[in-house]
Amino acid sequence: MTATPVGMRCPECSRQKTKVHTAASIHGDPRLSYTLIAINVIAFLAMSAGGGGLDGRGGSVWVNGALFGPSVADGDWWRIISAGFLHAGLLHLAFNMYFLYFLGTMLEPVIGKLRFAAIYFVSMLGGSLGALVVSPGAVTVGASGAVFGMMGAAILALRARGIDPWQSGLGITLVLNLGITFLIPGISIGGHIGGLMAGGVVGYLMFEVADRRRLAIQPILAACVVLGILLAISCVVVAGTTRI
């Protein structure tokens, strides 16, 4: 018998090399997460170059892309998406990109790009709807809605796999961020809560329904697309009530 890192094995077996499969080797690197981070950074640079300066505010990109209820009501429907890629300053961008990197590198290699994209964009639309419901007359930007949705979905993914979210640190991270949301002025409460709720719904469908019951993922992804469309329509309808 020969001593190996995995115990005693016969000489023939010890010479065999067993390929180790990781999450990255199954679903690939978190390239979508890196792409989303790059888009956010490029959008911020465009805001600065377009007259917004280091805080990005006031330039042409900000004026035409930020979420603002009356503008959405007047036909600027793209704002419910574009606002999720704009940020009010370097610190705002840095915080959101840190969490996007942290959650993206944790989730995407495990669940794959399609499910990750569904969580991200449905959460973003949920954040836009929440912001329009709570503060339709305010100008709102940031990927926070998508990030909160990813946190909610990640917690459900951990629970579905038998991992305590509190032991992982993700539970307390969510609680702390919710506390910041309600305690610090100027933060979009509706955007954060809306994104968290939308991400929670998608996460429940994917991990509590599909994974636990071993259902095909295609119907769940289709349901997420329908949910995203409904959220987008709701954004337009809610914004219509803000028309002056």
> Residue ranges of the alpha helices (H) in the chain?
11-14, 23-27, 31-47, 60-65, 69-73, 79-82, 90-111, 113-134, 144-160, 165-168, 170-183, 189-203, 217-240
If we measure between CA atoms, which residue out of 121, 92, 57, 123 comes closest to residue 187?
92
CB-based contact 145:130 (threshold 8 Å): yes
Q: Given the residues 33, 82, 144, 188, select the one marked as catalytic.
A: 144
CB-based contact 84:143 (threshold 8 Å): yes
Tokens of 105: 């590198």
Tokens of 95: 């915080």
If we measure between CA atoms, which residue out of 103, 179, 94, 107 comes closest to residue 142?
94
92 is a catalytic site residue: no
Tokens of 26: 């199954």
CB-based contact 195:127 (threshold 8 Å): yes
Q: Given the residues 71, 87, 92, 192, select the one marked as catalytic.
A: 192
Q: Would you name the residues annotated as active-site residues?
A: 144, 192
